[in-house]
Amino acid sequence: MQPAVKLKASKVPSSQIGRLFHYGSLAVGLGAGAASEFLRRSTSGSNAGEQQGSVMMSEANVSRLVDKLSQMRGAALKLGQFMSIQDSHILPEQIDRILRQVQNNAHYMPNWQMEQVMTTELGADWKSYFSSFEPIPFASASIGQVHRATVASTSQAVAVKIQFPNVAQSIASDLRNLSLLLHASRLLPRGMYLESSLKVMREELEDECNYLREAQAAKRFREVLTGDDRFKVMGVVDELTTKKVLVMEMMQGESVARATKLDQSTRNKIGNTILTLCMRELFHFRFMQTDPNWSNFLYNSATRQVELVDFGASREYSKEFINDWYLLLSAAIAGDRDACIKHSLKLGYLTGEEKDVMVDAHVKSLVLLGIPFATSTSQPFSFGSSLQPITSAIREQIPIMLKHRLTPPPRETYSLNRKLSGALLLCGKLGAEVDCQRVWKRETVGYEASVSHSNLKWDACKS
């Protein structure tokens, strides 16, 4: 069962000086905590197991990091979400634990700060637009919080997402401070190409801070999924939506993370639906909502639909990139080593100068990822029993790749891999049984011929 999110009111540090002070105090606190832990171990006769642990990652420092990242929000909190989903297998266990705690300790703005944002965006009489508005949010994340409300003119129940003050303006400085902190503390392993990750995260955050862009993405998904009764996409109230306030239809479903209590057939259907959506986003729309956070996928037991919310992390991919990525995943599914290397070189996963041990680990990881889609259609892939051995086998390759990797992953693959891995992990959490090979073949039919003949006229918008 997913831990309940703990909501706590705290002022968002909004000035550059204020945010710099918080990062500085965190660095000082971590240093003092590490020194204290070193002294404690030196004088207490701790056992060998305790002595092996990092002094930087003492319990006191873990608490410091969780509290400060939760309070800072913005890029600080987004880094936790980004890293915990992006490449969780390569993170030290203590770091992974910190990031997961942060996601379940969300802070929200005090009422006066929320009202300042609403007044700036909708005017001093903003409350007149709503016949009801709950001042305490029901959800809070990295760049904003969400309130229940009712539109006065239509009586429509809505969710109002309000952006934290100056989050967009603080992205660049926050990431510089985080980079300095992570490098100085040596909290992350070598080979992660932190600067590349932070560059990608900056671009994503800047997009997510534009709620008008998110509203357009939601409308686009609503259009391409019209007629598919497996899905319901949130509607947007345009007249009350600005760059920092997003008013959207209130959905009725519950997070799919809670669907673990449902019967096997329903869980199978949910898993199949989410994997199908993932493939359609890639090979039909070339437009993907790349945040696999389970709270972005709701299941409505009454309508038996998967409800889709939060489109801030939506990304478009070029035809050429998806062609190459399709060929790479096809090679992985077929277990074709030579083709995996060929397409990895073309995409930029490899440079051609890697040692054999790195190439072997890379290809093994790709083939392992393809196993669910290679499983015979006569027997659906059982995520409950079969996914863990795959993730464990991939984890064994990570230290090798971190040591011998010569280039960061291609920029486009950060978001794509995050979503695909998240979808597979969600199926694992549900214990779903899904005919993944059938999903793959159904959603890519006609695509192979298109790629083989370089036919760029293939209509990716049609199913």
* Residue 385 CB neighbour total at 10 angstroms: 11
> Of residues 67, 174, 291, 324, which has the active-site annotation?
291
Which pair of tokens denotes residue 354? 């890697």
Catalytic residue at 67? no
* C-alpha–C-alpha distance, residues 434 and 426, integer Å: 12
Q: What is the DSSP letter of 262?
A: S
Q: List the structure tokens of 306.
A: 């998967």
Q: Which has the closest alpha carbon to 339: 348, 353, 328, 347?
A: 328
For the chain, the first-to-last Cα distance in angstroms comes to: 35
Q: Are 134 and 149 in contact (CB under 8 A)?
A: yes
- Cβ-Cβ contacts under 8 Å for 41 (sequence gap 6 or more): 50, 51, 55
Q: Partners of 147 in the beta sheet? A: 160
3-state secondary structure of 321: helix
CA-closest candidate to residue 85, choices 422, 461, 445, 432: 422
Tokens coding 374: 């290679």
Beta carbons within 8 Å of 338's beta carbon, 6+ residues apart: none
* Element at 356 (helix H, strand E): helix 356-374
402 touches 191 (CB < 8 A): yes
* 68/77 Cα distance (integer angstroms): 9
Please say whether the beta carbons of 432 and 272 come within 8 A: yes
Known catalytic residues are: 291
